[in-house]
Amino acid sequence: MSLLRLTFLGTSAAQPTLHRGLSGLAVKADADLLLFDCGEGSQRQMVRFGTGFTVDVAFFTHFHADHYLGIIGFLRTLGMTGRTEPMHLYGPPPARRLLHQAVHLGLESLAFPVEIHELKDGDVVRRGGYTVQAVGVDHRIHALGYVLAEDERPGRFHLEKARELGVPEGPSFGKLQRGEAVTLPDGRVVKPEDVLGMARPGRRLVISGDTRPCPALVQAAKDADLLVHESTFSDDEQTRAVETRHSTAREAAQVAKEAGAKRLILTHLSSRHDTDPGRLLTQAREAFKGPVEVAFDGLTVELPLRD
């Protein structure tokens, strides 16, 4: 997997504002396009920010209305554009019941199959070159965070070593780089470890969904390249955060600090912080010394490969 790019479709909590839409995150993982939540209006944001509609899989963190109602219209738009490929929808209980209702709402049936899967803490969805793991978090209803973990990548290819061993340039180089052994014309077998350096770790993207800070998320975000964490409230709204099972910006930053995450992006902002999230940013930076920013609709972030 070479490309790992995030586009924030909606960054507001509970209700849309003039400047922020409801929760939605598009992730381009090489050839795959994934959705994490699909709040009302997400498909318009996808047009606006140029992500395209070729979504392979949608993952839902939970089923409060502001996180999933957008899938109803989006599926119908896909049907009108002639889609025939299956769509896979994943989420915590009651995903099967609620998403079934969403899929079958209206008089016309969809022209493509939709597969609905319920996930629980620890479940892993295997994709090409990466996995998506569900993490049980602490919200008012069944809720999940997600870890997108890239597979370990082969070490660097040592061209001169391959030449010294007599490996002909061309397809044999590609086979070795993919981890396949090559048999030379004289019968010798060259193994990948003969010409490759140490394996390189894959990237880790962690998405909190709606949650209180919790040990499971800290563990999941260990050494993450990026933690996307909700920060609905500021310090002076701590009581409200506890009551609603949301997080403050400082608490999100503390999760990033304890996990050793490399970078933190705050999202899911209360309308109180809609146009001026400065307090959230200041409070988060007091707790976490790594790079921190507050997401806005249309923010695009590309995660570089690890060395």
Least confident of 6-15, 182-191, 294-303: 182-191
| Pair 123, 213 in one domain | yes
**What does the alpha-carbon distance between residue 223 and residue 90 come to, in Å, rounded to a whole number?**
25
| Pair 165, 28 in one domain | no
Residue 307 lies in a domain: no
Residues linked to residue 57 through DSSP beta bridges, in sequence order: 34, 88
In this prediction, residues 200-227 reach a mean pLDDT of 97
| Pair 221, 264 in one domain | yes
With cut-offs at 50, 70 and 90, classify the pLDDT of residue 119: very high
Residue 56 lies in a domain: yes
| Pair 188, 214 in one domain | no
In this prediction, residues 220-233 reach a mean pLDDT of 98
**What does the alpha-carbon distance between residue 74 and residue 4 come to, in Å, rounded to a whole number?**
23
> At 117, phi and psi to the nearest 5?
-130, 130
Residue 51 is predicted with a pLDDT of 98
Give the count of beta carbons closer than 10 Å to the beta carbon of residue 300.
Answer: 13
Q: Has residue 156 got a pLDDT over 90? A: no
Q: Has residue 107 got a pLDDT over 80? A: no
Residues linked to residue 28 through DSSP beta bridges, in sequence order: 5, 33
Give the domain CATH number at 145.
3.60.15.10
Question: Running DSSP on this structure, what letter comes out for residue 273?
Answer: G
| Pair 169, 255 in one domain | no
β-bridge pairing 87-91 and 57-59: parallel
Domain boundary among 143, 176, 194: 194
Please report, for residues 93, 116, 250, 264, the alpha-carbon distance to residue 147 in angstroms, rounded to integers and kept in the order given.
18, 19, 21, 14
> At 266, phi and psi to the nearest 5?
-95, 140
Amino acid at 146: Y
- Binding-site residues sit at 62, 64, 66-67, 139, 210, 268
Boundaries of domain holding 183: 159-194
Domain boundary among 138, 170, 194: 194
Question: Running DSSP on this structure, what letter comes out for residue 66?
Answer: G
| Pair 97, 240 in one domain | yes
Catalytic residues: 66
| Pair 148, 49 in one domain | yes
| Pair 90, 32 in one domain | yes
Residue 262 lies in a domain: yes
- Tens digits of per-residue pLDDT, 254-287? 999 999 999 999 999 999 999 999 999 999 999 9
**What does the alpha-carbon distance between residue 264 and residue 247 come to, in Å, rounded to a whole number?**
14
Residue 155 is predicted with a pLDDT of 85
Give residues with Cβ within 8 angstroms of 138, minimum separation 6.
211, 212, 213, 214, 216, 245
Q: What pTM was computed for the model?
A: 0.91
| Pair 146, 222 in one domain | yes
Residue 65 is predicted with a pLDDT of 95
- Binding-site residues for Zn(2+) sit at 62, 64, 66-67, 139, 210, 268
Least confident of 20-29, 187-196, 278-287: 187-196
Residue 164 lies in a domain: yes
| Pair 289, 257 in one domain | yes
Q: Are 278 and 288 in contact (CB under 8 A)?
A: no
| Pair 260, 233 in one domain | yes
Give the count of beta carbons closer than 10 Å to the beta carbon of residue 100.
Answer: 14
Q: Has residue 198 got a pLDDT over 90? A: no
With cut-offs at 50, 70 and 90, classify the pLDDT of residue 153: confident
Residue 253 lies in a domain: yes
| Pair 80, 166 in one domain | no
From start to end of 92-225, where are the E strands? 114-118, 124-127, 130-136, 144-150, 182-183, 189-190, 204-207
Among 273, 196, 184, residue whose Cα is nearest residue 236? 273
Number of independent structural domains in the chain: 2
Residue 199 is predicted with a pLDDT of 86
Residue 233 lies in a domain: yes
Residue 81 lies in a domain: yes
Residue 116 is predicted with a pLDDT of 97
Residue 290 lies in a domain: yes
Amino acid at 243: E
